[in-house]
Structure 1
Amino acid sequence: MREELELLSRRSFLRASAGAGAAALSLDGVKAEVARALADVRTTDSSKVDDGYWRKIREQFLLEEGFAYLNTGTVGATPGPVYRALVNYWRMMAQNPNESSAILQGRYDAIRAKAAAFVGADASEIAIVRNATEGNNLVAQGLDLKAGDEVLIGTLEHDSSRQPWRLRAQRHGIVVREVPIATPPGSPEEIARAFESAVTPRTRVVSVAHCDTVTGTLAPVAEIARAARARGLLCFVDGAQTLGMVPLDLHALGVDAYVMTCHKWLASPAGTGLLYVRRDLHDRIWPNVVTENWWTFKDARKYDRLSRRPWPVVAALEDALDFQNAIGRDRIAARVRALSGYLRSRAAEIPGVRLYTSNHPALGAGMTSLTLDKVSPLRLREHLRQRYDAYTAERQRGERYPADPHGVEGIRVSTHYYNTFEQVDRVLEGLRGLTGGRA
C-alpha cells in the first residue's frame, strides 16, 4: 500500500511538473526567449562590427566547429534562436493542437506586414507561400494567356521558374523563348539589352531570375522591368536567391511579381516563401489553390489560402526576419560581398581557374561559380569536402541547364555572413593544391 501511494505521489509530481512546463510554454514566452538572443547580436556601433562580432554571430548557429558550410544557395543554416523557437512552436502544437494552431495562425497578418516591410512592399501585396516553386507556379498558371502569346526567360533559369512556363506551352500553346546570358556577362547593360532585343510583337511577359542559381549573377531587374513596362509587358522575377542576401525594395524595382524562398539566405526553416504581386495586378492573376471564401480576399492573401498548414514554420519565419533585422540587412549584404569578392579576386589569380561569376559590383553577390581546368566537378567538390571540410555545390551541364552556351561545369560556392575569410582561404588552398598536383 505504501509503495502504491509513493508511486501515485511520484506520478502526481510528474503531472504537476509537466503542467507547469506546459503553462510556461506560451507564444509570449517563446518570443521573449528569441528577444533575449537577439539582444546579443544587435549593435548600433559600426566600430564593433569586426571579426569578433562575426564570430559571435556564427556562435548563434548549430554548425559544427571548423565546418565550412558553403552551400546556402541550396539551403541555409538556421540560427539557433530560430531553431529553438520552431521546436517550441511544435511543442505548443503537441500540447494543445487546435488552440496552439489558432494562436500561431493569429500572427499571420503581423508576419505578412513584417515581411512586406523587409522587402519594400505593402502587406496587401504579400502572400506567404511554401517556397519559390509554388510562387512561380501561382504566377505562371494564374495569368490569362492565349495560344501564340510569348514569354521570355533567361537561359540560366531554375526549373521552378522555367517549367511552369513550359507547362503552359504544352497545355495552352504559348511560346517560351530563352534569352542567352553569357557566363559571365560583361556588364548589367549587356543583360538588359539581351532581353530588350528579344522582344517581339507577340511578347507578353518577361520572366527573369534576379540572381540565377547557376552562376549567381545578379540581373539588372529594375532596368529590365522599366523597359518591359514601357512596351506594355509584364515583368515577373524569380528572387529565390536574393531574400536575405541583398536588401530588397520591390516598389523601387518596379516589378509586377516577385517570388522569394525563405530557407536559403534568410535562413528560415524550410517551408515558407513569399510572393509579391503588385497591387493593381491582383485582378489579373488567378489563385491556383482555393478553399472556402477565397473569393472574399481582394489582395494577395487569395494566393495563400491553404487551410490547415504547418503554422510553427510560418511563426518561425517572423523570428528569422527579426534575426536578420537585428544584425542589419546592409551589414549582412556588405559582409556577403566582402567574402565573395575576396574569393573571386583570389581565385582569378590561380592558374587553370575559370570564373563563371563576374566580380563586377553590380553583377556579383553571394554565390561564385568556377571550374578548374581538367578537374571534374565531382572530384573538385569532394576534394574540398574531404581535405578541407568545405561543403560546396557541384554544377554540371546537362538536361537541367541545356541552353547554357558556355557549358557551366564546376562548383558553386555560397558565402554568407556566418562564413569566414579563413573558410574562403581553405577553398583557395584546395584549388591551388589541385593545380599544383598536390591532391
Structure 2
Amino acid sequence: MSEQTASTSEDPLGASNRRDFFKLVGAGAGAAAAATVASPLLPASAFAADSPKFKLGEPRPAFILDPDVLYMNIGTTGSTPKHILKSFDDDDREVARNPLETFGGVTPMRQAIAPGFGAQLEEFVISYNTTDGMNKILAGVELNAGDEIITTNHEHPGGNGPMNLLLRRRGVKIVVLPLPVGNDQRATDYVDLFRAAITNKTKAFVFSAPTFLTGTMLPYKRLAKLAQSKGIMTIVDGAHATGMFALDFNATGIDFWGCSGHKWQCGPGGTGVLYIRNRVDRNNPLPLFNFWPTNTNNTLLTGPRTNENAATYGIGTALQSIGNPNYPMLKAFAETCQFWDRIGRRTIEKHDLTLSLYLKGKIAEVWGVEHLYSPKDDPELLSALTSFSPFHKNSLVLQLGDAATAETNQSTEFVTRMREEYGIVIRNTAVPVIGSPAPHHPMRISTHLFHSARDVDRLVRSMKDLAMKMGVA
C-alpha cells in the first residue's frame, strides 16, 4: 500500500493485490510452484535526476555493498545508498567548518518525509532507533498500578526494557502471550489470542510487526480494530517494517509506532521513526490516551498532550526537541527516505515480499515446510524476513542441557561457515517455541531491494551444501 493509495484491507499488500501477488509467485499451487519462479517479476523503477539509476535486484551503482559478499542480514542493519553517503560526508565537513550550520533545522526534514509514511508533521518524529522510540512511547503513556499490557514472548529488548520499567516502577501488569511458529497459522489466530487475554484492566497492546525472531507480520489492522472496540491503546515495535513495507501509519489505525531508520530503510545508524497518532478519524475514532513528552527540552509544556489540546500542543515537535542534534545524520536519513519514495515504497514492498516467498518455497522444497519458523501461506503474516532450521523441524521439543547447547553451537557454526566458506552473511536467533523448554536457534535471512532471485538460488545451494557437510541429509 502506498501513501497515496493506502488500502484499508487487513493484509500487507492490500486486497486489490492479494490474489495477484500469490498468482505472481505461484503460491496457490504450493511450495513446488513457488520454487519455479525465475525472478521477482517486478519492473525497474524510474529515477530522479539527482540520484543514481537503480534497478531492483541490482545493488550497483546505488550501493557500495562488497561485491564479494552476499549480504542478507538487513534485519540487523542496512546499507546507506552511495550518493547519500557522499552528501552525509560533505554535510559533516560543513558543520565542522561552520558549527552553527543546521541545514534549515529538523522541521523541514520531517515535513518532507512524513507524508511518505502517511503521517502529519506533529505525528512524526525522527528518533534515534527503535529502542529510543519505544522508550519514549512507553514512558509517555499514562499507565499505572494495576493496569495491564498484553504483549508477546517474541518481543525485542527495546520493547521489553521499557515495559519491565513500568512493571518495576509503577506496578503495571505485563501479560505475555506465547506465539506460534511455522506455517500452520493464520492471521485470525492472533486476534483470537489477544481477545482471549483481554480483561477490564487491559490498557494496551504492545507487539512487534513483524517480529524480529521469525519475521511473522502480526495482523496489525485486525489487532487495531480489536483494541479500538475495547478502548485499548496499541503500541507497535515496527523495527522491521519501515523501508520494507509501504506503511501508511494513519491507515493502520495504530496509536504508536516505534521504528528503525538504519535497517530496511537503510539510513545511517542512530536513526529511527516515532509515530504518535494526533487525530481522530475513520481509521481510529477513539481519543488518544493522554501522552507526556517525557524526553524533551521544551519547557513551555506544562502537562500532557490531550485530545482537547492536540491541535496546538505540537507533540511531534516537542518530542523532536532534545537539544543540539546531529543535523547531517538526520538530513541523510531524510534523503534516504526520499530516495525510497522516488523508487516507490509499494514497488519495494512487492519486490521484497515476492523474493521472501520465493525463498520460503525453495526452503520448503529442499528441507520441508516443517523446517520453516516463518509463515508462508497466509500473505497477511508474510514479511521479508525468513526464519528456518536446516537441522530440525520447528516442532522439536528441545530440553535444557547438553542437547540445547549442541543445537546452539550447531546453529552458530552454520552462520560462521556460511560467511567464511561461502561469502554469505545471515544470522540466527533464539526463538521460544511452545512446548519446548529450551529455545530453538533457526537461521534468519533478509531479502531486500538489492537482492534478486539469483541471490536466493545461490543462498539455497550454499546452505544445502553446508548442511550436507555438517552431516544433515
- Specify if TM > 0.5: yes
Task: From the superposition, tell whether residues 166 and 405 of structure 1 become closer, same or farther in structure 2 (CA, over 3 Å).
Answer: farther
Structure 1 segment 353-368 matched on structure 2, within 5 A: 354-359=371-376, 360-368=378-386
Correspondence for 2:404: none
| 1:325 partner SS | helix
| 2:56 partner SS | helix
Structure 1, 245-254 or 352-361: larger mean CA deviation: 352-361
Structure 1 segment 339-418 matched on structure 2, within 5 A: 339-351=355-367, 354-359=371-376, 360-373=378-391, 376-397=410-431, 407-418=439-450
Structure 1 segment 22-421 matched on structure 2, within 5 A: 36-38=49-51, 40-41=53-54, 53-54=55-56, 56-98=58-100, 100=101, 102=102, 104=103, 106-184=104-182, 186-280=185-279, 284-295=290-301, 297-351=313-367, 354-359=371-376, 360-373=378-391, 376-397=410-431, 407-421=439-453
Unaligned 5+ runs, structure 2: 1-46, 280-286, 303-312, 393-406
Report the count of equivalent residues. 387
Structure with the larger helix share = 1
Q: Distance in 1 between matches of 2:52 and 2:459?
A: 33
| 1:295 partner SS | coil
Q: Distance in 1 between matches of 2:288 and 2:318?
A: 9
Q: Quick check: 1:258–1:277 contact (8 Å CA) kept in 2?
A: yes
Per-residue deviation, residues 108-153 of structure 1 (Å, max 9, x unmatched): 2222123321111111111221111111011111112221110011
Task: From the superposition, tell whether residues 39 and 409 of structure 1 become closer, same or farther in structure 2 (CA, over 3 Å).
Answer: closer
State the 1:437 CA deviation: 3.6
State the 1:39 CA deviation: 5.7
Task: From the superposition, tell whether residues 356 and 137 of structure 1 become closer, same or farther in structure 2 (CA, over 3 Å).
Answer: same
Bigger Cα Rg: 1
| 2:389 partner SS | strand
Q: Distance in 1 between matches of 2:255 and 2:149?
A: 14
Unaligned 5+ runs, structure 1: 1-33, 42-52
Q: Quick check: 1:136–1:259 contact (8 Å CA) kept in 2?
A: yes
| 2:374 partner SS | coil
Q: Which has the higher contact order (CA 8 A, sep 6+)?
A: 2
Q: Quick check: 2:130–2:239 contact (8 Å CA) kept in 1?
A: yes
Letter in 1 for 2:466: L
Q: Quick check: 2:125–2:316 contact (8 Å CA) kept in 1?
A: yes
Per-residue deviation, residues 251-272 of structure 1 (Å, max 9, x unmatched): 1111111111110111011122
Structure 1, 133-142 or 294-303: larger mean CA deviation: 294-303
Q: Quick check: 1:388–1:426 contact (8 Å CA) kept in 2?
A: no
| 2:379 partner SS | coil
Task: From the superposition, tell whether residues 320 and 385 of structure 1 become closer, same or farther in structure 2 (CA, over 3 Å).
Answer: same
Q: Quick check: 1:354–1:371 contact (8 Å CA) kept in 2?
A: yes
State the 1:309 CA deviation: 1.3
Letter in 1 for 2:384: G
Task: From the superposition, tell whether residues 387 and 87 of structure 1 become closer, same or farther in structure 2 (CA, over 3 Å).
Answer: same
Per-residue deviation, residues 200-240 of structure 1 (Å, max 9, x unmatched): 11111011111000001101101101111111111111111
Task: From the superposition, tell whether residues 72 and 404 of structure 1 become closer, same or farther in structure 2 (CA, over 3 Å).
Answer: farther
| 1:349 partner SS | helix
TM-score by length of 2: 0.77
Q: Distance in 2 between matches of 1:240 and 1:351?
A: 29
Task: From the superposition, tell whether residues 394 and 205 of structure 1 become closer, same or farther in structure 2 (CA, over 3 Å).
Answer: same
TM-score by length of 1: 0.83
Q: Quick check: 2:211–2:217 contact (8 Å CA) kept in 1?
A: yes
State the 1:420 CA deviation: 2.3
Q: Quick check: 1:366–1:414 contact (8 Å CA) kept in 2?
A: yes
Per-residue deviation, residues 248-304 of structure 1 (Å, max 9, x unmatched): 111111111111111011101112211111115677111122224352853221112
Q: Quick check: 2:68–2:423 contact (8 Å CA) kept in 1?
A: yes
Q: Distance in 2 between matches of 1:379 and 1:246?
A: 32
Q: Distance in 2 between matches of 1:55 and 1:363?
A: 23
Per-residue deviation, residues 183-207 of structure 1 (Å, max 9, x unmatched): 1351111112111111111111011
